[in-house]
Chains A and B, each alone.
Chain A
Amino acid sequence: MGAFRTLLAQFCIVAVSCVLLGAFGAQFLQHEMPCPLCILQRMGMMLCASGPAWLLCRAAMREVDARDYAECYGLSILSAILGGSVALRQICLHIAPGDTGYGSPMFGLHLYTWSFIVFVTVVAVSGLQLLLLPKRAERLRIGFIPKACVALLIAVVAANTIAVFVEEGFHLYLPDNPTEYQLFSDFGFSTSAPAAAP
């Protein structure tokens, strides 16, 4: 059962990292600039994935018990509620008839709708983990793959940090509808692009 719990934690981290990489792809391959709400959803996803990442890091050092699981998945659920609220807010902004939404749809849904689905899934998987709490402290086998999953998440967060810094520049907030990378435009380089990607 411990192996299944480790697998579920890894699944959470990899799934969220893949979604974040997909959003990154939309940003750089389709040249769609993420809006402030899209960036907030990315933050929510990273905070969601930090719960299972925390669990794997703890398990690599010592035994983990029900309290550790509860803490880590509690963090994920709280983050999913925050991120889901942002996604729901963005869905509501574009819910009026005739509104084409922000950015181009993927598989028939906009990226913020997919984002909401991801947050609901995180809550469901966290709930499942909490149902499978161990009765006593257990030593999980943390080999190369779980560590690689956490390293992937750290790399994705690092890449996003750089991308957001380039988009925001030295300004306090992102503009509501960003059309260029502010760091470049502040230094006199023009990099205008169309909209969107959570």
Chain B
Amino acid sequence: MDTLIFLLIFVMLLAMWRGRYRLGWVLFVIAFIMTGLLFWHHTTDALEISF
């Protein structure tokens, strides 16, 4: 999952570099949501351990 998000950010930056702004925008949104979900996953993980 982490590798996939990094890969998405890399492709997003390449898309911006090549002037493909719409693609860059879509990839940003996907990477942002995936990062948030991964954070949520790790948060709930730790809470289970705490309680």
Contact between A54 and B46 (Cβ–Cβ < 8 Å)?
A: no
A160 cross-chain contacts in B, Cβ below 8 A:
6
Interface size on A, residues (CB 8 A): 36
Nearest CB of chain A from residue B46's CB, rounded to whole Å = 7
Chain B 4-19: CB-based contact to A (< 8 A → 1; otherwise 0): 0111011011101101
Nearest CB of chain A from residue B2's CB, rounded to whole Å = 5
Dominant SS at the B interface?
A: helix
> Which residue of B5, B21, B41 is within 8 Å of A43 (Cβ)?
B5
User: Which chain A residues in 25-53 approach chain B with CB under 8 Å?
Assistant: 36-37, 39-40, 43-44, 46-47, 50, 53
B28 cross-chain contacts in A, Cβ below 8 A:
47, 50, 75
> Which residue of B14, B17, B39 is within 8 Å of A82 (Cβ)?
B39
Interface size on B, residues (CB 8 A): 28
Contacts A40-B39, A78-B32 given; does A57 touch B6 at CB 8 Å? no
Contact between B42 and A47 (Cβ–Cβ < 8 Å)?
A: no
Contacts A50-B16, A173-B2 given; does A43 touch B31 at CB 8 Å? yes
**B-to-A contact residues, CB < 8 Å:** 1-3, 5-7, 9-10, 12-14, 16-17, 19, 21, 24, 28, 31-32, 35-36, 38-39, 41-43, 45-46
